[in-house]
Amino acid sequence: MPINAAVESDLDPAALWACWRDEGDAAAREQLICHYLPYARIVAATVFSRRTHSDVEFEDYLQLARVGLVEAVDRFDPGQGAQFKTFAAKRVQGAVLNGLVRLTEKNQQISVKMRLRQERLAAAKEAAEEAVAGESEVVPGASSRSGDKLFRYLAEVGIGLALGILLEDTGMVEAESFGNETRVPSPEVSYFRKTEILQMRTVLHGLVERLTEQQRRIIRYHYLQEIPFDEIATTMGVTRGRISQLHRQGLLRLRELLGNDARCDVSW
Protein backbone atom coordinates (compact mmCIF):
# COMPACT_ATOMS: atom_id res chain seq x y z
CA MET A 1 0.00 0.00 0.00
CA PRO A 2 1.42 3.46 -0.85
CA ILE A 3 2.56 5.27 2.24
CA ASN A 4 0.56 8.41 1.46
CA ALA A 5 -2.55 6.30 1.59
CA ALA A 6 -1.28 4.72 4.79
CA VAL A 7 -0.77 8.05 6.48
CA GLU A 8 -3.97 9.57 5.20
CA SER A 9 -6.06 6.58 6.28
CA ASP A 10 -4.53 6.61 9.77
CA LEU A 11 -3.59 2.93 9.72
CA ASP A 12 -3.37 0.89 12.89
CA PRO A 13 0.09 0.29 14.36
CA ALA A 14 0.42 -3.16 12.78
CA ALA A 15 0.05 -1.71 9.29
CA LEU A 16 2.45 1.11 10.10
CA TRP A 17 5.02 -1.37 11.37
CA ALA A 18 4.72 -3.28 8.11
CA CYS A 19 5.30 -0.10 6.10
CA TRP A 20 8.30 0.86 8.22
CA ARG A 21 10.02 -2.50 8.72
CA ASP A 22 9.25 -4.04 5.34
CA GLU A 23 9.46 -0.98 3.12
CA GLY A 24 11.63 1.34 5.18
CA ASP A 25 9.11 4.14 4.80
CA ALA A 26 10.16 7.17 6.85
CA ALA A 27 6.62 8.59 6.97
CA ALA A 28 5.37 5.41 8.63
CA ARG A 29 8.24 5.62 11.14
CA GLU A 30 7.28 9.20 11.98
CA GLN A 31 3.65 8.25 12.47
CA LEU A 32 4.64 5.37 14.76
CA ILE A 33 6.69 7.75 16.89
CA CYS A 34 3.74 10.13 17.12
CA HIS A 35 1.40 7.24 17.96
CA TYR A 36 3.55 6.13 20.92
CA LEU A 37 4.47 9.56 22.26
CA PRO A 38 1.72 9.41 24.91
CA TYR A 39 3.29 6.17 26.17
CA ALA A 40 6.69 7.85 26.36
CA ARG A 41 5.09 10.63 28.39
CA ILE A 42 3.64 8.06 30.81
CA VAL A 43 7.08 6.50 31.32
CA ALA A 44 8.63 9.94 31.84
CA ALA A 45 5.91 10.88 34.34
CA THR A 46 6.39 7.61 36.24
CA VAL A 47 10.14 8.16 36.60
CA PHE A 48 9.56 11.83 37.46
CA SER A 49 7.14 10.88 40.26
CA ARG A 50 9.90 8.80 41.88
CA ARG A 51 12.51 11.55 41.77
CA THR A 52 14.54 12.23 44.90
CA HIS A 53 15.53 15.80 43.94
CA SER A 54 14.24 18.64 41.79
CA ASP A 55 17.41 19.48 39.89
CA VAL A 56 15.89 18.42 36.55
CA GLU A 57 12.52 19.60 35.21
CA PHE A 58 9.84 17.32 33.79
CA GLU A 59 10.41 18.61 30.26
CA ASP A 60 13.91 17.15 30.40
CA TYR A 61 12.49 13.80 31.52
CA LEU A 62 10.05 13.93 28.61
CA GLN A 63 12.74 14.80 26.09
CA LEU A 64 14.88 11.89 27.25
CA ALA A 65 11.87 9.57 27.00
CA ARG A 66 11.30 10.73 23.42
CA VAL A 67 14.89 9.89 22.56
CA GLY A 68 14.43 6.42 24.04
CA LEU A 69 11.19 5.99 22.10
CA VAL A 70 12.84 6.84 18.79
CA GLU A 71 15.62 4.32 19.48
CA ALA A 72 13.03 1.68 20.38
CA VAL A 73 11.06 2.30 17.17
CA ASP A 74 14.22 1.93 15.12
CA ARG A 75 15.21 -1.35 16.80
CA PHE A 76 11.87 -3.07 17.24
CA ASP A 77 11.13 -6.13 15.11
CA PRO A 78 7.40 -7.07 15.10
CA GLY A 79 8.32 -10.48 13.73
CA GLN A 80 9.77 -11.49 17.11
CA GLY A 81 6.28 -11.66 18.57
CA ALA A 82 6.71 -9.21 21.45
CA GLN A 83 4.45 -6.21 21.99
CA PHE A 84 6.12 -2.89 21.22
CA LYS A 85 5.36 -1.36 24.62
CA THR A 86 6.91 -4.36 26.35
CA PHE A 87 9.99 -4.02 24.16
CA ALA A 88 10.16 -0.25 24.59
CA ALA A 89 9.52 -0.02 28.33
CA LYS A 90 13.06 -0.76 29.53
CA ARG A 91 14.65 1.19 26.70
CA VAL A 92 12.62 4.33 27.26
CA GLN A 93 13.09 4.16 31.03
CA GLY A 94 16.80 3.43 30.59
CA ALA A 95 17.18 6.42 28.27
CA VAL A 96 15.59 8.63 30.93
CA LEU A 97 17.67 7.30 33.81
CA ASN A 98 20.96 7.39 31.89
CA GLY A 99 20.21 10.87 30.63
CA LEU A 100 19.39 12.06 34.14
CA VAL A 101 22.82 10.98 35.34
CA ARG A 102 24.46 13.09 32.66
CA LEU A 103 22.16 16.05 33.26
CA THR A 104 22.67 15.90 37.04
CA GLU A 105 26.45 15.75 36.65
CA LYS A 106 26.32 18.66 34.21
CA ASN A 107 24.11 20.70 36.55
CA GLN A 108 26.44 19.98 39.44
CA GLN A 109 29.44 21.07 37.37
CA ILE A 110 27.64 24.26 36.35
CA SER A 111 26.74 24.92 39.98
CA VAL A 112 30.36 24.47 41.07
CA LYS A 113 31.56 26.73 38.24
CA MET A 114 29.14 29.44 39.30
CA ARG A 115 30.27 29.17 42.92
CA LEU A 116 33.90 29.44 41.86
CA ARG A 117 33.21 32.48 39.69
CA GLN A 118 31.32 34.20 42.50
CA GLU A 119 34.13 33.49 44.96
CA ARG A 120 36.78 34.74 42.54
CA LEU A 121 34.84 37.91 41.78
CA ALA A 122 34.42 38.59 45.49
CA ALA A 123 38.12 37.90 46.09
CA ALA A 124 39.11 40.18 43.20
CA LYS A 125 36.95 42.97 44.63
CA GLU A 126 38.46 42.58 48.09
CA ALA A 127 41.98 42.56 46.66
CA ALA A 128 41.16 45.66 44.62
CA GLU A 129 39.87 47.51 47.66
CA GLU A 130 42.99 46.56 49.61
CA ALA A 131 45.33 47.58 46.78
CA VAL A 132 43.66 50.94 46.20
CA ALA A 133 43.53 51.70 49.93
CA GLY A 134 47.20 50.75 50.33
CA GLU A 135 48.23 52.95 47.42
CA SER A 136 46.46 55.96 48.94
CA GLU A 137 48.26 55.43 52.24
CA VAL A 138 51.69 55.14 50.61
CA VAL A 139 51.19 58.16 48.39
CA PRO A 140 49.23 60.85 50.25
CA GLY A 141 46.69 62.48 47.98
CA ALA A 142 46.94 59.72 45.37
CA SER A 143 43.67 58.97 43.59
CA SER A 144 41.93 61.60 45.64
CA ARG A 145 39.14 62.11 43.14
CA SER A 146 36.27 59.63 43.24
CA GLY A 147 36.53 59.06 39.49
CA ASP A 148 40.21 58.13 39.76
CA LYS A 149 39.50 55.75 42.63
CA LEU A 150 36.69 54.08 40.73
CA PHE A 151 38.86 53.63 37.64
CA ARG A 152 41.72 52.23 39.70
CA TYR A 153 39.34 49.92 41.55
CA LEU A 154 37.87 48.55 38.30
CA ALA A 155 41.36 48.08 36.90
CA GLU A 156 42.39 46.12 39.99
CA VAL A 157 39.30 43.92 39.77
CA GLY A 158 40.12 43.21 36.13
CA ILE A 159 43.68 42.29 37.05
CA GLY A 160 42.46 39.87 39.71
CA LEU A 161 40.05 38.17 37.31
CA ALA A 162 42.71 38.00 34.60
CA LEU A 163 45.12 36.31 37.00
CA GLY A 164 42.44 33.78 37.82
CA ILE A 165 41.83 32.98 34.16
CA LEU A 166 45.54 32.53 33.53
CA LEU A 167 45.90 30.28 36.57
CA GLU A 168 42.86 28.20 35.65
CA ASP A 169 44.26 27.33 32.22
CA THR A 170 40.84 26.88 30.59
CA GLY A 171 41.59 28.43 27.22
CA MET A 172 39.16 31.26 27.98
CA VAL A 173 41.79 33.89 27.28
CA GLU A 174 42.45 32.57 23.80
CA ALA A 175 38.74 32.33 23.07
CA GLU A 176 37.96 35.88 24.19
CA SER A 177 41.12 37.79 23.36
CA PHE A 178 40.16 38.93 19.91
CA GLY A 179 36.66 40.30 20.39
CA ASN A 180 34.04 40.09 17.67
CA GLU A 181 34.32 38.13 14.44
CA THR A 182 34.43 41.22 12.22
CA ARG A 183 38.03 41.89 13.30
CA VAL A 184 39.72 38.54 13.00
CA PRO A 185 43.51 38.94 13.43
CA SER A 186 45.95 37.62 10.90
CA PRO A 187 47.43 34.18 11.57
CA GLU A 188 50.72 35.82 12.53
CA VAL A 189 49.10 38.16 15.06
CA SER A 190 46.99 35.33 16.45
CA TYR A 191 50.05 33.10 16.82
CA PHE A 192 52.18 35.67 18.61
CA ARG A 193 49.30 36.74 20.86
CA LYS A 194 48.64 33.16 21.92
CA THR A 195 52.36 32.60 22.39
CA GLU A 196 52.54 35.62 24.71
CA ILE A 197 49.60 34.32 26.73
CA LEU A 198 51.14 30.87 27.04
CA GLN A 199 54.44 32.37 28.14
CA MET A 200 52.76 34.55 30.75
CA ARG A 201 50.77 31.56 32.00
CA THR A 202 53.97 29.54 32.34
CA VAL A 203 55.65 32.37 34.23
CA LEU A 204 52.63 32.82 36.49
CA HIS A 205 52.49 29.13 37.39
CA GLY A 206 56.18 29.31 38.22
CA LEU A 207 55.63 32.32 40.46
CA VAL A 208 53.02 30.39 42.42
CA GLU A 209 55.95 28.44 43.86
CA ARG A 210 57.19 31.65 45.50
CA LEU A 211 54.04 32.10 47.57
CA THR A 212 53.79 30.98 51.16
CA GLU A 213 52.89 27.33 51.64
CA GLN A 214 49.28 28.11 52.61
CA GLN A 215 48.78 30.58 49.77
CA ARG A 216 50.28 28.11 47.32
CA ARG A 217 48.00 25.30 48.48
CA ILE A 218 44.92 27.48 48.20
CA ILE A 219 45.81 28.70 44.72
CA ARG A 220 46.40 25.13 43.55
CA TYR A 221 43.24 23.78 45.17
CA HIS A 222 41.04 26.60 43.91
CA TYR A 223 42.29 27.11 40.35
CA LEU A 224 43.87 23.84 39.33
CA GLN A 225 41.47 21.47 41.12
CA GLU A 226 38.44 23.80 41.13
CA ILE A 227 37.67 23.30 44.81
CA PRO A 228 35.42 25.96 46.45
CA PHE A 229 36.66 27.93 49.45
CA ASP A 230 34.45 26.17 52.00
CA GLU A 231 35.78 22.75 50.98
CA ILE A 232 39.37 24.04 51.09
CA ALA A 233 38.69 25.40 54.56
CA THR A 234 37.52 21.97 55.73
CA THR A 235 40.57 20.29 54.18
CA MET A 236 43.01 22.74 55.75
CA GLY A 237 41.22 22.96 59.09
CA VAL A 238 40.71 26.75 59.06
CA THR A 239 37.75 29.06 58.59
CA ARG A 240 36.40 30.03 55.20
CA GLY A 241 37.20 33.66 55.99
CA ARG A 242 40.84 32.72 56.53
CA ILE A 243 40.90 30.93 53.17
CA SER A 244 39.46 34.00 51.48
CA GLN A 245 42.06 36.20 53.17
CA LEU A 246 44.97 33.98 52.15
CA HIS A 247 43.62 33.75 48.62
CA ARG A 248 43.41 37.53 48.38
CA GLN A 249 46.95 37.89 49.71
CA GLY A 250 48.13 35.31 47.21
CA LEU A 251 46.59 37.21 44.30
CA LEU A 252 48.17 40.46 45.43
CA ARG A 253 51.55 38.77 45.81
CA LEU A 254 51.28 37.17 42.36
CA ARG A 255 50.37 40.51 40.83
CA GLU A 256 53.47 42.05 42.47
CA LEU A 257 55.78 39.22 41.39
CA LEU A 258 54.45 39.22 37.85
CA GLY A 259 54.86 42.98 37.55
CA ASN A 260 58.50 42.75 38.71
CA ASP A 261 59.38 39.78 36.51
CA ALA A 262 61.74 40.82 33.71
CA ARG A 263 60.24 38.19 31.41
CA CYS A 264 56.89 39.95 31.38
CA ASP A 265 56.30 43.39 29.94
CA VAL A 266 53.14 44.12 31.87
CA SER A 267 51.64 47.53 32.54
CA TRP A 268 49.23 47.46 35.44
Comparing 85 with 134, which gets the higher pLDDT? Answer: 85
d(CA 194, CA 222): 24
> Rounded to whole angstroms, what are the CA distances from 227 to 109, 219, 233?
11, 10, 10
pLDDT tens for residues 42-85? 999 999 998 877 778 898 899 999 999 999 999 998 888 889 99
Higher pLDDT, 7 or 221: 221
pLDDT tens digits, one per residue of 206-217 = 888 888 999 989
* CA 157 – CA 131 distance, rounded (Å): 10
Q: Which CATH number fits the domain 3-107, given the four candidates 1.20.210.10, 3.30.70.1060, 1.10.1740.10, 3.40.640.10? A: 1.10.1740.10
Q: Which of 124-133, 184-193, 224-233, 238-247 has the lowest mean pLDDT?
A: 184-193
Instruction: Output b/e per residue, 239-267; b: 16+ Cβ within 10 A.
Output: eeebbbbbbbbbbbbbbebbeeeeeeeee
In this prediction, residue 54 carries a pLDDT of 76
C-alpha to C-alpha distance for 178 and 221, rounded to whole angstroms = 30
What whole-number distance in Å separates Cα of residue 126 and Cα of residue 88?
Answer: 56
DSSP letter (8 states) at residue 181: G
What is the topology classification, in CATH, of domain 143-260? Arc Repressor Mutant, subunit A (1.10.10)
| Predicted confidence (pLDDT) at residue 177 exceeds the cutoff of 90 | no
| Boundaries of every domain in the chain | 3-107, 143-260
Of 73, 71, 72, 83, the C-alpha closest to 28 is 73
pLDDT number for residue 268: 44
